[in-house]
């Protein structure tokens, strides 16, 4: 010991290698403390053993062969610093996407060409609201009060259509928009967002989703995949219309999988409104928990987890993967893009058009469902085939603000392993839609609105349940 202490006291290279060795030890402990929840126990133990051996050998080399040790320690330090960066990025990412506190964003808006700002006085302005939206007046009053604003007049209109016309005709300067109001406007004018600007807004918390936890590496489960349209805005946790609704059921033991698209216009019971309307509105009005409850009620199934992505996230994800090869069931033109029957290479913008286009397809909404499921397969395939560090970091960047899930963080690695293990099944599984017809009638929630709703043909819902049960029960 005395000889070693004398070596440290008199050797500059000894001091440097000792400091580097201590730094390696600290960096390694930090990395392992951050990633242990993501790794299977056996892999984590093996990694700890390997790291311990490396540290011990470097400690021995630091004294016996200091020049070699210096080189090796610098290399290991650089690797660990890169590892710390990656670990921090992954931790920040997983913390953010598992923050699942959904909100309804209520806004007070003006026309886009208006010069109204949130800093000015509202004393000479008139605010319109819809009387058939119970929360509209209450929320607008709260928002104004919290921002120390008063308006000249709060003017009620029978419905959102009349209130919106008043705004566009300059009879009022401001309009309050809740999620009910946004859904009404999407029927009146699907491009309404091009004509308005948000002046003030407030987020109102919604019911948190309750997961039905299982060990996804061993037990079957169903995950609900929702694609929210741009009505959710920039905040992924702000409710938006459920434009894409897909159930993915996986049995890791039998390696059976099933993917089922649920039509967004399906007429379902919406618990938060105690009435029935379109499935897409269930998520808009009550968040993911409401969508899950509506689907479970309609199909008599259990959904374990959900994953939600918005349109920006889809585009960024596909671009982060360098584009994907997606199979199209049809040859058609959509917007500025052309798709051939067979495989097509798509970037983010083209992938979004592929997922959204329906009017030019032979079966309209059903055809779009087939295309959406093919896009999911293509994304699974690309990432599983090329699970590189750069791809992983690019995917993290693309999804951080545009994706959320209630799958526990400790199951993320299991989920990745499942995608890799089940890739052949994911690539070849059948796409299932629901046959039926559209019927026009008045809405049960917004009683003044006459719209079309999807009604499944006889036996269709039972067939969906049987396909899911077939996978769950391992038949």
Q: Please tell me the distance from the alpha carbon of residue 458 to that of residue 475, in angstroms, as a whole number.
A: 24
Is residue 92 included in any domain, yes or no?
no
Q: Is residue 91 part of a domain?
A: no
Residue pointed to by tokens 């709703």: 453
Per-residue tokens: 244: 């894409």
Same domain, 328 and 238: yes
Say yes or no to pLDDT of 90 above 90. Answer: no
User: pLDDT digits over 116-164, tens only?
Assistant: 999 999 999 999 999 888 788 999 999 999 999 999 999 999 989 999 9
* 319 and 460 housed in the same domain: yes
Tell me, yes or no, whether 194 and 230 share the same domain: no
Indicate whether 236 and 320 sit together in one domain: yes
In the block, tokens 């995950």 appear at: 223
- Predicted pLDDT at 129: 94
Residues 425-462 have pLDDT tens digits of 887 787 788 999 999 999 998 887 889 999 999 999 99
Residue 88 located in a structural domain: no
Domain span at residue 20 reads 2-82
Q: Same structural domain for residues 253 and 399? A: yes
The pLDDT of 410-416, averaged and rounded, is: 88
Based on the domain organization, do 286 and 233 belong to the same domain?
A: yes
pLDDT digits (tens, 9 = 90+) for 41-59: 888 899 999 999 999 999 9
Give the per-residue pLDDT at 80. Answer: 94
- Per the structure, the count of domains in the chain is 3
| CATH code at position 346 | 3.40.630.190
Do 393 and 343 belong together in one domain?
yes
Each residue's pLDDT tens digit, 286-330: 899 999 999 999 999 999 999 998 888 889 889 988 999 999 999
Residues 40 and 109 in one domain: no
pLDDT at 298: 97
In a domain, residue 286? The reply is yes
Distance separating alpha carbons of residues 326 and 322, to the nearest angstrom: 13
- Within a domain: 143: yes
The reply to whether 234 and 170 lie within a common domain is no
Give SS3 for 255. Answer: coil
184/300 same-domain check: no
Give this prediction's pTM: 0.85
147: domain CATH number is 3.40.190.10
Instruction: Band the pLDDT of 232: cuts 50, 70, 90.
Output: low
Single residue among 82, 115, 140 that ends a domain in this structure: 82
Between CA 177 and CA 286 the distance in angstroms is: 15
Nearest Cα to Cα of residue 294 among 308, 281, 309: 281
Handedness of CA 77, 78, 84, 86 (dihedral sign): negative
The share of the chain scoring above pLDDT 70, in percent, equals 98
Whether residue 201 sits in one domain with residue 239: no
Q: Which of 175, 205, 235 is the last residue of a domain?
A: 205
φ and ψ at residue 289, rounded to 5 degrees = -60, -40
Q: Quick one: pLDDT band at residue 469, thresholds 50, 70, 90?
A: very high
CA–CA distance, 207 with 215 (Å, rounded to integer)? 25
Average pLDDT of span 418-423: 85
Residue 54 in domain: yes
Residue 94, in any domain of the structure: no
**Domain final position from 26, 51, 82:** 82
Tell me: do 316 and 461 sit in the same domain. yes
Q: Is residue 97 part of a domain?
A: no
């Amino acid at each position: 010991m005395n000889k070693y202490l004398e070596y440290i006291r008199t050797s500059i290279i000894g001091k440097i290698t000792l400091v580097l060795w201590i730094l390696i030890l600290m960096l390694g402990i930090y990395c392992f403390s951050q990633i242990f929840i993501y790794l299977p126990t056996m892999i984590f133990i093996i990694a700890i053993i390997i790291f311990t051996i490396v540290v011990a050998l470097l400690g021995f080399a630091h004294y016996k062969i200091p020049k070699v040790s210096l080189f090796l320690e610098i290399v290991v330090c650089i690797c660990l610093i890169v590892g710390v960066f990656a670990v921090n990025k992954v931790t920040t990412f997983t913390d953010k996407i598992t923050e699942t506190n959904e909100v309804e964003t209520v806004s007070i808006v003006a026309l886009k060409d208006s010069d109204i700002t949130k800093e000015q006085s509202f004393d000479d302005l008139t605010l319109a609201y819809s009387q058939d939206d119970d929360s509209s007046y209450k929320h607008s009053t709260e928002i104004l009060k919290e921002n120390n604003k008063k308006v000249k007049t709060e003017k009620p209109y029978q419905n959102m259509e009349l209130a919106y016309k008043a705004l566009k005709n300059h009879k009022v300067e401001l309009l309050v928009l809740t999620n009910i109001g946004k859904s009404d406007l999407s029927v009146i004018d699907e491009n309404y967002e091009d004509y308005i600007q948000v002046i003030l807004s407030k987020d109102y918390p919604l019911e948190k989703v309750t997961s039905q936890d299982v060990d996804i590496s061993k037990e079957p489960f169903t995950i609900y995949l929702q694609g929210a349209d741009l009505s959710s805005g920039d905040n992924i946790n702000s409710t938006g219309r459920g434009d894409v609704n897909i159930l993915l059921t996986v049995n890791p033991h039998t390696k059976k999988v099933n993917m089922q698209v649920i039509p967004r216009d399906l007429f379902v019971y919406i618990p938060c409104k105690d009435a029935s309307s379109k499935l897409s509105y269930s998520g808009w009005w009550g968040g993911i928990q409401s969508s899950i409850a509506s689907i479970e009620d309609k199909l008599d199934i259990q959904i374990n987890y959900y994953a939600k992505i918005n349109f920006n996230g889809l585009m960024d994800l596909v671009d982060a993967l360098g584009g994907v090869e997606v199979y199209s069931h049809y040859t058609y033109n959509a917007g500025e893009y052309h798709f051939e029957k067979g495989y097509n290479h798509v970037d983010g913008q083209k992938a979004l058009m592929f997922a959204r286009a329906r009017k030019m397809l032979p079966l309209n909404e059903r055809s779009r469902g087939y295309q959406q499921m093919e896009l999911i397969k293509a994304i699974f395939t690309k990432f599983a085939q090329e699970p590189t560090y750069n791809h992983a970091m690019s995917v993290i960047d693309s999804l951080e603000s545009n994706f959320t899930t209630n799958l526990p963080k400790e199951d993320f690695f299991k989920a990745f392993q499942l995608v890799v293990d089940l890739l052949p099944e994911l690539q070849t599984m059948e796409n299932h839609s629901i046959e039926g017809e559209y019927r026009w009638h008045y809405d049960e929630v917004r009683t003044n609105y006459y719209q079309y709703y999807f009604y499944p043909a006889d036996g269709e819902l039972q067939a969906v349940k049987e396909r899911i049960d077939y996978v769950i029960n391992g038949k």
